[in-house]
């Protein structure tokens, strides 16, 4: 084992946990109304707690256990059995304990992202069950297929840090959950306004900071590929933020802080699958094109189809993840990372086809898996809170814990 690699992955793992709280919790918490701040932050925090336990007990084994037919991992790591101080998976230069902990962080934030599509109306009991079942039935199989030696891995689909496994899976699942649970009261006729842009921006900055660990840590070592992932991550976020700013300036005649920061997050999502496989100039292009993809998805597709994805989890993570995974098949360059392959730009059409298969697989699994999970949960608890609880706000109705002392105990009047 290598002490330098181990030190870096320890830091990277901590950075990814930092993306949960304060990162995603503040990012989502600032975007919702002042009556749903605590409940929204609870989704991020509680998912980290529950998924951590699920991952230790069986999730890690299903993802990284001995391959069974290319479709699922064996049970040799149940309860972290056979996970110790030895080199991870027999080939890496970091302890097995550490590799498994990094995977906990990835799995947990994938679940937390989904909460953005259904914030303000999902019941807390349903969310707790979802945080147990979804990573077991949806995330673990996909993680095995792509990263654990499964059939997509063997085929050659590239996903450096989670374009298909994390972002497409969570974004599409958020959309399915939003459609199944239904829109917020009067949400389609009244524009939702974020209650605290300062919290939102701090959360966005924390996510960007944590993303260096998210993408850089996926190199599973410290060195040249890690440095490449650092650089591509930053420049893609920067160009995407600029792209969104320009689009808003042209269409709306004024740029917004929320839009610019959202654009940056879209760029960070888009570069995730190719962070260690593409060049810096390619990362600039991937980030820049992520902005129009996500902007028009949120501002046109969403309103045309009238689905209520509360915090645009699908519009940002789903759509940018799809673009990023496909872009990896276009811009990947084997000479900068021998573990990857050349993409279409370098004469390899087959890699682009592999990426399309990976994207399609993630979409189908997210749709079917999330539908099944929510149907199972609905047999035991209501998926949605009552109309009265929703109008009062979930902070008071579910937790009796308002984020601000001036929040009224009376339900909001319907307009």
Question: Degrees (nearest 5) of the Cα angle 41, 43, 45?
Answer: 70
In total, the chain counts a number of residues equal to: 415
Q: Can you give the residue range of the structural domain that contains 62?
A: 3-396
3 state DSSP class of 73: strand
408 falls within a domain: no
Kindly state whether residue 406 falls inside one of the protein's structural domains. Answer: no
- Establish if 99 belongs to a structural domain: yes
Dihedral angle, C-alpha 400, 405, 410, 413, nearest 10 °: -120
Q: How far apart are CA 326 and CA 355, in angstroms?
A: 6
Distance of CA 232 to the CA centre of its chain: 18
pLDDT by residue for the chain (415 residues), tens only, comes to 899 999 999 999 999 999 999 999 999 999 999 999 999 999 999 999 999 999 999 999 999 999 999 999 999 999 999 999 999 988 899 999 999 999 999 999 999 999 999 999 999 999 999 999 999 999 999 999 999 999 999 999 999 999 999 999 999 999 999 999 999 887 544 657 899 999 999 999 999 999 999 999 999 999 999 999 999 999 999 999 999 999 999 999 999 999 999 999 999 999 999 999 999 999 999 999 999 999 999 999 888 888 999 999 999 999 999 999 999 999 999 999 999 999 999 999 999 999 999 999 999 999 999 999 999 999 999 999 999 999 999 999 999 999 998 766 666 655 4
Residue 407 lies in a domain: no
Is 298 part of any domain? yes
Output the domain CATH number for residue 316: 1.10.3430.10
CA distance 293 to 298: 9
Residue 275 lies in a domain: yes
Dist. CA 337–CA 22, nearest whole Å: 33
Residue 199 lies in a domain: yes
User: Is 403 inside any structural domain?
Assistant: no
The total number of structural domains in the chain stands at 1
């Amino acid at each position: 084992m290598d002490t330098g690699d181990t030190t870096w992955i320890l830091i990277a793992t901590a950075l990814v946990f930092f993306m949960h709280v304060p990162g995603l919790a503040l990012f989502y918490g600032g975007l919702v109304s002042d009556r749903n701040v605590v409940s929204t932050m609870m989704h991020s925090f509680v998912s980290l707690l529950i998924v951590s336990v699920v991952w230790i007990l069986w999730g890690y084994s299903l993802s990284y256990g001995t391959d069974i037919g290319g479709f699922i991992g064996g049970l040799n790591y149940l309860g972290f059995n056979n996970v110790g101080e030895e080199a991870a998976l027999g080939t890496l230069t970091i302890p097995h304990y550490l590799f498994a902990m990094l995977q906990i962080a990835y799995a947990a934030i994938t679940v937390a992202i989904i909460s953005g599509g259904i914030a303000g109306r999902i019941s807390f009991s349903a969310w707790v069950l979802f945080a147990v079942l979804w990573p077991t039935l949806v995330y673990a199989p996909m993680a095995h297929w792509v990263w654990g030696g499964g059939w997509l891995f063997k085929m050659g689909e590239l996903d450096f840090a989670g374009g298909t496994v994390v972002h497409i899976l969570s974004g599409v699942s958020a959309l399915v959950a939003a459609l199944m649970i239904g829109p917020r009261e009067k949400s389609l006729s009244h524009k939702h306004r974020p209650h605290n842009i300062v919290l939102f921006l701090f959360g966005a900055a924390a996510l960007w900071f944590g993303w260096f660990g998210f993408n850089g840590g996926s190199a599973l070592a410290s060195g040249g590929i890690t440095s490449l992932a650092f650089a591509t991550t930053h420049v893609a976020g920067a160009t995407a933020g600029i792209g969104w700013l320009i689009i808003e300036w042209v269409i709306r005649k004024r740029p917004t802080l929320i839009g610019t920061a959202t654009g940056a997050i879209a760029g960070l999502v888009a570069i995730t699958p190719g962070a260690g496989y593409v060049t810096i100039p390619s990362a600039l292009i991937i980030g820049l094109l992520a902005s129009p993809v996500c902007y028009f998805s949120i501002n046109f597709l969403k309103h045309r189809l009238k689905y209520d994805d509360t915090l645009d989890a699908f519009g940002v993570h789903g759509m940018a993840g799809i673009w990023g995974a496909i872009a990896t098949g276009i811009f990947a360059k084997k000479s900068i990372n021998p573990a990857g392959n050349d993409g279409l730009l370098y004469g390899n059409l087959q890699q682009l086809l592999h990426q399309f298969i990976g994207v399609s697989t993630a979409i189908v699994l997210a749709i079917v898996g999330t539908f099944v999970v929510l149907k199972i949960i609905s047999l035991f608890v209501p998926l949605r809170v009552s109309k009265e609880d929703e109008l009062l706000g979930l902070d008071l109705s579910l937790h009796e814990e308002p984020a601000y002392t001036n929040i009224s105990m009376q339900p909001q009047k319907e307009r």
